[in-house]
Amino acid sequence: MEPEYKHNCPGCTYLNTIEQHSKVYDLYYCTPSQVVGPGTVVVRKGNEPSDYLMGTEFAGFNPLLSIAAIHAIAKDLLSIEELKWYIADKI
Ligand SMILES: [Zn+2]
């Protein structure tokens, strides 16, 4: 699978592209090399630089970020324990 949209972040690992109700979303996991710490899930929904959502801490509220988190777990970029920590911290 190839990304649908332009995305120029060198820290991002492409996870998958999903389609839902005729809308297409590219899923990424971002691990900025300069920053020590966990990465974050990213969902791109268009080519404009601002056409994205991000934040593992919002995966409990936003289904698209939740799906990105599941794909990141499947690729071993994020652990279930990390996701639980992010979600539990925000509830
Ligand atoms: Zn990135």
Cβ–Cβ < 8 Å for 72, 41: yes
Prediction pTM value = 0.89
What is the Cα Rg of the chain in Å? 12
- Give dist(CA 21, CA 39) in Å, integer: 29
Compute, in angstroms, the gap from residue 21 CA to the centroid of ligand 1.
26
Compute, in angstroms, the gap from residue 23 CA to the centroid of ligand 1.
21
Compute, in angstroms, the gap from residue 13 CA to the centroid of ligand 1.
7
Return per-residue pLDDT of the chain as tens, 91 residues.
899 999 999 999 999 999 999 999 999 999 876 555 678 999 999 999 999 999 999 998 999 999 999 999 999 999 999 899 888 865 5
Query: Please, what is the angle between helix 63-74 and helix 80-90, to 10°?
Result: 160
Q: Which of 22, 24, 23, 20 is nearest to 2 (CA)?
A: 24
